[in-house]
Amino acid sequence: MASDQARMLELAKSEPAWPRPPLWSMGLGLAVAASLLAYPFVFTSPFSHHLVILILLYALMAQSWNVVAGLSGQISLGHAIFFGIGAYSSTVLFVKYGITPWIGLVVGMVLSALAAVAIGVPTLRLRGHYFAIATLLIGSSVQIIVQRWDWVGAASGLYIPIDRTSPWLYLQFHTSKIPYYYLALGATAVGYGLVWLLRRSRFGFRLQALRDEPDAAASLGIAIARHKVLAFMISAAMMSVAGTFYAQYVLVLDPERLLSSEISIIVLLMTVLGGSGTLWGPALGAAILIPLSEYSRIWFGGTGRTIDLIIYGILILAVCMWRPSGILSLFEEGIRRRKGSAP
Amino acid sequence: MSRDLIMQAVASGLLMGLIYALVAVGLSLIFGLMEIVNFAHGEFLMLAMFAAFWLWSLGGLDPLVSLPLVAVMLAAAGALVHLGIIRHLLNAPMLAQVCGTFGLAVALRAGAQFLWTPDFRTITNPWIAGRVHVGPLFIGQPQLVAGAICLLAFVALWLFVTRTETGLGLQATAQDRQAAAVMGIPTERMSALGWAIGLGCVGVAGTMLSTFYYIFPDVGVNFALLAFVAVALGGFGSILGSLVAGVLIGLVESLGGLLIDPSYKTVIVFALYLAVVIARPNGLFGRF
């Protein structure tokens, strides 16, 4: 009897928890990676670089949001706070003390994780709408306060002084966007890699368990609050990296835009459009929405003509009504159908 | 700080609070009926203000005349939104519901900006203007009339919900949808009615607000945030709770602005929300 159990345990342990991905998906992954690496030399115009830099950046931001919402099931409407902390940390350190943004990047991540604890500990135990509204309100409060905080430039924000002496030390590239491109690609790849690992880790499974069945998860001894706060911290640190990078890319901090609820909402819309809770959904959402807004800006001119947002809104509404699991699930369904009814 | 100044702040906070309350009660009603937070609520307030503006500027109608017109328009929009959109979201996961109404909000706000530009507009010579003196206080007449009409609308809503058969049907649907359906209450129609009434209230509040407030595509954002606070304070689904909470928010905003710093008045209200929601997650007057 005991040996039976032991043998079954051995058998269960030897079985891979995650089957090897099929050949076609590995091939697709390699092809995407290769084309991303080669992209800046195939398409050489600054605009085509700019477009993919933005897609990569927003893919990272949406993935960070996805860690909280897709994995732990809490809808945050205040993620712009962490984007702002990342941008302000590196910029303030550089402008006031001449410290390289590389250190600012780490400082921003630490500060964001601390802010996530400060916000998350009291609010993450609120369920559903109450948490969403609480984060929305905290987000707009932070914006109002920063806009009146003179030390960080108040409403007019901060400019990052141009420094041509050492581009890699000061993270400023004025002759080409290609270094920015590879930095964004690297940051996003690292972010997605970490989330990929996170999703298959014990911690990731616990998060998904408490998202789907909070009561059952709690009764199995998962400390819900601690797990959710930890997920919130990871997400905040990721968002902060995007913030630092964005500040170095545009070289100007505008709290009106940087901390607006629009940023929080756009990462949510992207994730849900692509497929929340999935690994590639946020990237797909960013790859759809960013070109939409950049091209509509070109075709319809600058401010005021907000065609892109109208299309955004309707697209999201349609996805929520007819495909709440996101566009990615359309592909998955197609693949499943082609392979027959195999589970 | 003189006593008059504080009285003045109390009066204006009270009147503004009545408008917040009427905006919030629609949100509360809709949530009570189907557990959906309408994140596009502020955008409908904006549409109501623009409707009142265009009826005044193109049709020459004073907001007081166009009031019933705008209310009916918004109520119709509410029923349409329910039938066309919300009905399809009812069984979706919460994330899809939040995103759906957010998508609607983004599209409406951007649409308004596209059609009417981000400019600030005002209704320049409404019938009611100027101010009255009540003892030592100066009270803007538009604010006074707006507060009074919002209060009247509230009373009418209260009577409708508690004294008529349809109103009781609404309450029953909010309490227990399935049981109500078993009792022969057309719950689907009640939901549509809830949306119509909720946005009708927004129509009244928006028209009255347009007589003394700037009209621009983003105007709804702040009002919606305050309405979320009011609904959360009053308890989702509680009608009287929204009235008390709306007035409370008006007072806190106005007194907080006076005593602490006007530029932080909304932050003070948000802090109030956080304090209450953390201490009492079902609101001050929550029924469950």
ipTM confidence? 0.85
> Residues of chain B with pLDDT > 90: what percent?
27
What stretch of H or E contains A167?
helix A167-170
pLDDT number for residue B47: 95
Q: How far is CA B97 from CA A114, B13, B137, in A?
A: 30, 33, 46
Distance CA A4, CA A268 (A): 49
pLDDT at residue B72 above 90?
yes
Subunit contact B274:A265, Cβ cutoff 8 A: no
pLDDT tens, position by position, B201-212? 999 999 999 988
Our CA-based measurement puts residue A59 at a distance from the nearest CA of chain B, in whole angstroms, of: 18
A141 in contact with chain B, both atoms CB, cutoff 8 A: yes
Per-residue pLDDT, averaged over B118-147, amounts to 82
Which chain A residues are Cβ-neighbours of B120 within 8 angstroms? Answer: none
**In which band, very low, low, confident or very high, does the pLDDT at B1 lie, cut at 50, 70 and 90?**
low
**In which band, very low, low, confident or very high, does the pLDDT at A343 lie, cut at 50, 70 and 90?**
very low
Distance CA A65, CA B99 (A): 14
**Residues making up chain B, counted from first to last:** 288
pLDDT at residue B169 above 80?
yes
Which chain B residues are Cβ-neighbours of A316 within 8 angstroms? Answer: 99-100, 102-103, 106
CB A214 within 8 A of CB A90: no
Q: How many CB pairs under 8 A join A and B?
A: 134
CB B210 within 8 A of CB B126: no
Least confident of A241-255, B44-58, B234-248: B234-248
Among residues B141, B102, B136, which one has the least CA distance to residue B15?
B141
Our CA-based measurement puts residue A328 at a distance from the nearest CA of chain B, in whole angstroms, of: 15
CB B30 within 8 A of CB B236: no
CB A85 within 8 A of CB A306: no
Write down the pTM of the prediction.
Answer: 0.87
Distance CA B62, CA B77 (A): 22
Distance CA B249, CA B37 (A): 19
Amino acid (one-letter) located at A47: F
A305 in contact with chain B, both atoms CB, cutoff 8 A: yes
Task: Supply B67's token pair.
Answer: 């009031």
What stretch of H or E contains B127?
none
Q: How far is CA A146 from CA A243, A310, B267, in A?
A: 15, 29, 12
Closest-approach residue (CA) in chain B for A121:
B278
Distance CA B246, CA B229 (A): 9
A128 in contact with chain B, both atoms CB, cutoff 8 A: yes
Our CA-based measurement puts residue A141 at a distance from the nearest CA of chain B, in whole angstroms, of: 5
Domain boundaries, chain A: 44-260
Distance CA A205, CA A60 (A): 21
Task: Supply A5's token pair.
Answer: 């159990």
**In which band, very low, low, confident or very high, does the pLDDT at B34 lie, cut at 50, 70 and 90?**
confident
Which are the contacts of A139, defined by CB distance < 8 A and separation ≥ 6? Answer: A77, A78, A79, A80, A81, A259, A261, A264
A186 in contact with chain B, both atoms CB, cutoff 8 A: no
Subunit contact B92:A129, Cβ cutoff 8 A: no
Our CA-based measurement puts residue B127 at a distance from the nearest CA of chain A, in whole angstroms, of: 32
